[in-house]
Structure 1
Amino acid sequence: MANTILSNGVRNNLLTLQQTTAQQSVIQNRLATGKKVNSAIDNPVNYFTALSLNDRSSQLTGLLDGISNGIQTIQAASKGIDGITKLVQSLQSTVKQAQADAAQNRPTKAGTALATATEAAVTSKSLKDIALDKRVVDDNGATANTATATYSGNVGGPVLAAGDEATTSITLTSGSTTYTASFLSTNATVRDVVNEINKSGIATAFVDEKGQLNIKGIGSEKVQFGIGTATFTPAAPGAPTSAEIAAAGTTALTTAQGATSDNPDFGFALTDNSAAGTTITGSSITSAVRSNLIDQFNDLRDKIDDLAKDSSFNGINLLAGDRLTIQFNEKTGKNQTKLDIQGSNLTSDNLGIPKAVNTQLTGFLNFQNDADLDKATQSLTGALTSLKSLASTLGSNLSVAQTRQDFTKELTNVLTTGAGNLVLADPNEEGASLLALNTRQQLSQTALSLANQADQGVLRLFG
């Protein structure tokens, strides 16, 4: 079949109409897909760049779930520490209750009576006052040592010759603490000795209504007590030097520590030369209040272990020694960015909180012993310090994880937006273009019609 011959005007208008229709098809496809680059044919550079950006954004979005789980794991451990801190504070309260109740087993010893009823009758004073007023040294060796209406008496210490001076030394030991003191005692009385003992911080002293000197430990630990007096002749009468007093004090201290003959003047015989004086032990009586607090203390202690075991999330427990790894980027090997958190095995034992008992056992807390309760207070304070340090570490790691979570969200948005800028179509622009093409199409159709009419005019010449 012969090809239809079109005039030049009709052919040009037809070509323009075909081009307009093709452009309309492209724009309609952009509006339908929302993209101006739908394949590598449209724009290879933009297409593959956007594909890479979207791929990275997708990988980072996938990591967000792991980061979120990691954050929850850290928060679970942090909540566990908060709960354990409250339990430790409750333990502190329990120990304070025990300390508030006076121990029944404090070491106490009473010496022999330092005053008699005969002296009371003669002096018209109480046995207690007579004992307190008696002098430490025998400054009246020619007469009886008992108190009279005109003489206060003495406790039978060394005889003080004319021109001599005397130094008295005491020693007190409780646990690892030792207190020693020496003082010029030429004119000292039992009252001075009581005051000196009360300065020690290890034991207290008092004279009871029977005229007996009593020594009582501050805590529950046994107390070793010794007292001794030594005389000396100073180079200058009535003016002893500090060196002379100290030298006599050394001799007196030797006596106080039981290294010489007995010194029963105060009713405490120092016969054990291997010990620092007379050993004063506590009684076997226990405090019912403290005994009742033992179960409360141990129950709270067990709850620490239980709470730590339950502070897990998604199978990971940072308070049970587990390790948590949070991945922050999509890379592997050396280029991978991650956060490694090594948990701690948090137990009452590891916090240094011993189990409470009613007796003195190694490694346990004796609730009847004041020294043990003091040590428990220190241990609990140390436990709170450890918990605070651990909480601070977890808080720092949590801050890092949350910062990376926010950063990853923002980065994925940047990547997605960047990819969109390369391939997405502007609906306003494309709509305007389509409207313009529609107008052009109508004009092309009109032009084609006019061209056909011109051709028909030629045919009318032959009519």
Structure 2
Amino acid sequence: MAVSLNAGVRNALSSLQSITAQAQASQFKLATGKKVNTAVDSPVNYFTAASLNDRSSQLTGLLDGMSNGIQTIQAASKGIDGITKLVSSLQSTIKQAQSDAAQNRPTKAGTALATAAEQVATSKSLKDIALDKKVVGADAIADAATATSSGDLGIINTDTNLAISITAGSTTYTAGLSSANATVRDVVNEINKSGIATAFVDEKGQLNVKGTGSDDVQFGIGADTSAPLALTDAAAGGANVAFGFLAADATAGGAIKGQSITSAVRSNLIDQYNDLRNKIDDLAKDSSFNGINLLKGDRLSIQFNEKAGKNQTKLDIQGSDVTSDNLGIAQATNTKTTGQINFQNDTDLESATKALTGALTSLKSLSSTFGANLSVAQTRQDFTKDMADVLSTGASNLVNVDANSEAANLLALQTRQQLSQTALSLSNQSDQAVLRLF
């Protein structure tokens, strides 16, 4: 049987039920932290927030790939830094070898141009006697020095022209001399003017010719009836001018060839140089990260957005195969060998210095390229993090509840609920008054 309620009770009960439902909804929002929990609450906000959160999640997923890419670039950059230090060490080794230059000069000494008998006759030193002797004489026989004559080397006076020729490596120096009065001292002075060789007469009266560089030096003096013929004779070795150099030491009929002296210091530096050179290859091989090595020609691709195809944005970095050979750093040897550095040769050492400078330039350029790519990757990483935060915040703004506002609303509903309960109680009192009639 249905219970009949008066109007006041019905209104109070209806109001209380409505307030209770609103309070429960408010409590649910505070519990979940969202004002839109289902599509029913707000279709537009619900699906928009879901789309924003989905993109934010995809971008966040790309951050790991970006981080690995950045570490790969940094590994290659650290490798370049290490290789640069090794190249600098190679430069120091070359400088050590070059500092030993004075001990590595081609030199040759002839036989004595003065004798003990001449020393007794003139009361001069063997050195001064040799320096004062004339080159050209009255006949083809060398005349000894006396108290009144300086003597000569025995070049006949019909050869009115003298010339010298000095060749070191690819450089040649020639000069003509006056046959009438030219002395051994004049020849020495002319050789010293060449810049590619030096000459002196020692205390034994021997003429010494020494190269200023490490290239073999060929020296010749010629005498003939004309300047061109004298020069030709000098270049080929004069027929009767050897300046005390033994025939066995002569090349092309009278020119002498200086013999290079092997420097022990430079020889000892070869192993050090080659070891450092090999370490460049080893270091490049060890500069990989997660299986990718940009110093061995690998390719790195870093994806920046969640799209595919032509709409995808990414950074492609092509590595370089960094080896000592590719950097132009040749292996060192103790002899002249094609494609290698002869540590005994000044020209080779200078070429090696230039090659090392070029290697440093190449490494600097490669480091700059990696640095620019690293800056791009780090910038995009920071952007992606910020973008993911923006998307998440935007989604939250659409569906998240304002806790302060909702808490105040719940408090107000609880107050209204209490008031509604009081109103319901008062409405029931009117029905209870009937009981007083009995």
Instruction: Give the structure-2-normalised TM-score.
Output: 0.85
Q: Does residue 200 of structure 2 align to residue 220 of structure 1? A: no
Is this contact kept in 2: 1:103–1:286, CA < 8 A?
Answer: no
Amino acid at match of 2:235: Q
Structure 1 residues 10-89: aligned runs within 5 Å = 10-89=9-88
In structure 2, the partner of 1:280 is: 257
In the alignment, what sits opposite 1:313?
A: 289
Distance in 2, matches of 1:29 and 1:331, equals 37
Residue 382 of structure 1 deviates from its aligned partner by: 2.6
Instruction: Measure how far apart 1:320 and its partner are.
Output: 1.5
Q: Does 1:257 align with 2:235?
A: yes
The aligned amino acid for 1:313 is: F
Distance 1:193 1:333 in 2: 82
Query: Following TM superposition, by how much is the alpha carbon of 1:34 offset from its aligned partner in structure 2, in angstroms?
Result: 0.7
Give the drift of 1:435. 0.6
Change in Cα spacing, 1:363 to 1:65, as seen in structure 2 (3 Å) is same
Contact 1:103 1:220 in 2 (8 A): no
Deviates more, 1:213-222 or 1:53-62: 213-222
| Matching of residues 388-403 of structure 1 within 5 Å | 388-403=364-379
Alignment CA distance shift 1:315-1:438 (3 Å): same
Shift of 1:314: 0.9
| CA displacement at 1:433 relative to structure 2 | 0.8
Mapped partners of 2:61, 2:225: distance in 1: 91
Distance 1:371 1:156 in 2: 39
Q: Cα deviations across residues 289-308 of structure 1 (Å, max 9, x unaligned)? A: 43333333332222222222
Q: Distance in 2 between matches of 1:106 and 1:319?
A: 41
Question: For residue 397 of structure 2, what is the aligned residue in structure 1?
Answer: 421
- Residue 292 of structure 1 is matched in structure 2 by 268
Question: Equivalents in 2 of 1:27, 1:199: separation in Å?
Answer: 106
Q: What is the distance in 2 between the residues matched to 1:133 and 1:434?
A: 125
Aligned counterpart, 2:91:
92
Look up the match of 1:202.
196
Q: Secondary structure at the match of 1:324?
A: strand
Distance (whole Å) between structure 1 residues aligned to residue 273 and residue 68 of structure 2: 36
1:187–1:51 CA distance, 2 compared to 1 (3 A): farther
Q: Decide whether the 8 Å contact of 1:111 with 1:214 is kept in 2.
A: yes
| Bigger mean CA deviation after superposition, 444-453 or 391-400 | 444-453
Structure 2 counterpart of 1:202, one-letter code: I
Distance 1:80 1:302 in 2: 14
CA distance in 2, matches of 1:64, 1:172: 71
Distance 1:279 1:286 in 2: 19
In structure 2, the residue corresponding to 1:331 is in which secondary structure? coil
C-alpha deviation, 1:157, in angstroms: 6.0
CA distance in 2 between counterparts of 1:410 and 1:197 reads 77
CA distance in 1 between partners of 2:256 and 2:242 (Å): 16
Match of 2:298 among 311, 314, 322: 322
- Report the Cα distance in structure 1 between the residues aligned to 2:346 and 2:171, rounded to whole angstroms: 17
Q: Secondary structure at the match of 2:293?
A: coil
The whole-number CA distance in structure 1 between the counterparts of 2:229 and 2:14 is 132
For structure 2, the 5+ residue unaligned runs are none
In structure 2, do the counterparts of structure 1 residues 257 and 183 end up closer, same or farther at CA, with 3 Å as the change threshold? closer
What's 2:171 paired with?
A: 178
Contact 2:114/2:129, CA 8 A, preserved across alignment: yes
- Take 1:131 and 1:396, find their aligned partners in 2: how far apart are those partners? 70
Q: Which residue number corresponds to residue 414 of structure 2?
A: 438
The whole-number CA distance in structure 2 between the counterparts of 1:332 and 1:188 is: 90
Letter of the 2:428 counterpart: N
Mapped partners of 1:6, 1:157: distance in 2:
157
Residues 137 and 158 in structure 1, CA contact (< 8 A), matched pair in contact too: yes
Match in the other structure for 2:131: 132
> 1:379 Cα shift?
2.6
Following TM superposition, by how much is the alpha carbon of 1:434 offset from its aligned partner in structure 2, in angstroms?
Answer: 0.6
Query: Matched residues in 1 for 2:312 and 2:288: separation?
Result: 26
Identity of aligned residues (%): 71
Q: CA separation in 2, counterparts of 1:429 and 1:104?
A: 93
Provide the residue aligned with 1:239 in structure 2.
none
Q: Give yes or no for contact 1:255–1:263 (8 Å, CA) kept in 2.
A: no
Query: CA separation in 1, counterparts of 2:349 and 2:26?
Result: 86
Counterpart Cα distance in 1 of 2:48 and 2:300: 35
Q: Give the AA of the match of 1:178.
A: T
Deviation of 1:440 after TM superposition, in Å, equals 1.4
Residue identity matched to 2:290: N
Moved more, 402-411 or 93-102: 93-102
CA spacing shift, 1:390–1:229, aligned 2, 3 Å = farther
Matched, 1:381 2:394: no
Distance 1:106 1:86 in 2: 31
Contact 1:222 1:279 in 2 (8 A): no
Q: Secondary structure at 1:315's aligned position in 2? A: coil
Range moving further from structure 2, 373-382 or 408-417: 373-382
Against the structure 1 CA distance between its residues 280 and 424, is the aligned structure 2 distance closer, same or farther, given a 3 Å change threshold? same
Aligned-residue offset at 1:267: 4.3
Counterparts of 1:157-176 in structure 2, within 5 Å, are: 159=157, 169-175=163-169
- Corresponding residue number in structure 1 for 2:381: 405
Tell me how far 1:31 sits from its aligned partner.
0.5
Secondary structure (helix, strand or coil) at the match of 1:226 reads strand
SS of residue paired to 2:236: coil
Residue 237 of structure 1: aligned partner: none
Choose the corresponding residue for 2:331, options 355, 360, 366.
Answer: 355
Pair 1:442–1:204, CA change in 2 (3 A): same
Aligned equivalent of 1:238 = none
Q: Give the CA deviation at 1:252.
A: 4.8
| Structure 2 CA distance for partners of 1:180 and 1:288, relative to 1, 3 Å | closer
Deviation at 1:329, TM superposition (A): 1.4
Deviation by residue 1:201-230 (Cα, 9 ceiling, x = unmatched): 432222222323222223433223234467
CA distance in 2, matches of 1:97, 1:144: 47
How far off is 1:286 after superposition?
Answer: 3.9
CA shift, 1:347, in A, is: 1.7
Letter in 2 for 1:430: E
